[in-house]
Amino acid sequence: MRLVIIGFGTVGTGLAALLRDRAAYLAGRYDFTPQIVGVATRSRGTLYAPDGLDIDALLAAHQGGSLRDYQGAASRDLDPLRLVGEAEADVVIEASHSNFDTAQPALDHCRAALRTGKHLVLANKGPVALALTELHNLARENGRQVRYEATVMAGTPALRLAEVGLAGCTISAARGILNGTTNYILEQMTGGLAYADALADAQRLGYAEADPAADVEGWDAAGKAIILARTLFDVPLTLADLQVKGIIAITPADIEAAAAAGERWKLIAEVSPSGGSVMPVRLPLADPLANVGGAINAITYRTDLMADVTLIGPGAGQVPTAAGLLSDMLSLLQS
């Protein structure tokens, strides 16, 4: 499997390192011997080598600040879109930054990948949230597939659970904790911290960005809710269709009132065939979602045959997200 990786930040470099470190295991257990033949970055250039890039040299050049300094034979400075289209590759990995306004330039990369006969695997949520139907249609026309496990709960297989594990069931709703940063902040507030202090704590630990708006205002979770709505129910929700409320307005008094009632605040994303929302909700402690701590994510599927089925695991991070991309590649092997 020859790979082109678009976006070489935390996730892309993590995937490269993972494929290097686990090469023997993946070859032995899955007969999977991927080669990275192309990499495109926003500001550090691009590389293309049809016979495969050396991952150590690739990571070294990237760390040095420019892929031009890659020690080895490769085409340098191809335009990313041309790289995607012209590369002799089996799979394009979209791991650049998520943009929910236009999904660009990633969406054009995705289109080019499918039109030129590559499978598409995404960690980038933008193209999935905004254009999943178009991408599926393009994939079908070209006999290829679109996979995006890493876009919801990173490598925790929320999408594979719905598609494969619960095959035969009808899912009527999904509700989950899809943002770890806010879950961490709410837990710290339950422990007595004020919102500002809990946020500072999350920033210090690297859970929250310097500008935390996407997390604390609920938009990151909303993007994932849209992906779930399209995947589970084929409902083309947009962010504007969702009721979205973050955790900013939650006060210590709110936290105390919930605790006094034997409940806990969680930022819950919920989707059903009739719509969706992201809202802080007081959950009774008997709800499996109420007990999900730290920066962990969780999702509960409501089904006809199995009642509620809940999956809990990491929802972010370099290695878990790379693991989600890897599991998608392995699923392509078998299809």
The angle subtended at Cα 161 by Cα 306 and Cα 164, nearest 5°, is 90
Q: Give me the 247-286 binding string for its own copies, x by CB under 8 A, dash otherwise.
A: --------------------------------------xx
Q: State which of residues 78, 89, 113, 311 lies at the interface with its own copies (CB under 8 A).
A: 311
Distances (CA, A) of 222 to 128, 178, 257: 13, 9, 26
Classify 211 as helix, strand or coil. coil
CB of 74 to its own copies, least distance (A): 27
Distances (CA, A) of 268 to 105, 177, 198, 300: 30, 5, 19, 11
Q: Establish whether 245 is a catalytic residue.
A: no
Q: List the interface residues with its own copies, window 315-334 (CB under 8 A).
A: 319-320, 322-323, 326-327, 330-331
3-state helix, strand, coil in the chain (%, to 5): 45, 20, 35
Which is nearer to its own copies, 116 or 331 (by Cβ)? Answer: 331
**1, 34 contact by CB (below 8 A):** yes
**271, 279 contact by CB (below 8 A):** no
Q: Which residues of 232-262 are buried (b: 16+ CB within 10 A; e: fewer)?
A: bbebebebeebebbbbeebeeeebeebeeee
**Is 186 among the residues that bind its own copies (CB under 8 A)?**
no
Q: State which of residues 4, 5, 26, 178 lies at the interface with its own copies (CB under 8 A).
A: 26
**Is 312 among the residues that bind its own copies (CB under 8 A)?**
yes
CB of 307 to its own copies, least distance (A): 6
Whole-number Å distance between alpha carbons of 100 and 213: 14
CB of 165 to its own copies, least distance (A): 3
**Is 306 among the residues that bind its own copies (CB under 8 A)?**
yes
| Interface with its own copies: number of residues (CB under 8 A) | 43
Catalog residues that contact its own copies under the rule CB under 8 A: 18, 22, 25-26, 30, 154-157, 160-161, 164-170, 285-286, 288, 290-293, 305-314, 319-320, 322-323, 326-327, 330-331
Residues serving a catalytic function are: 224
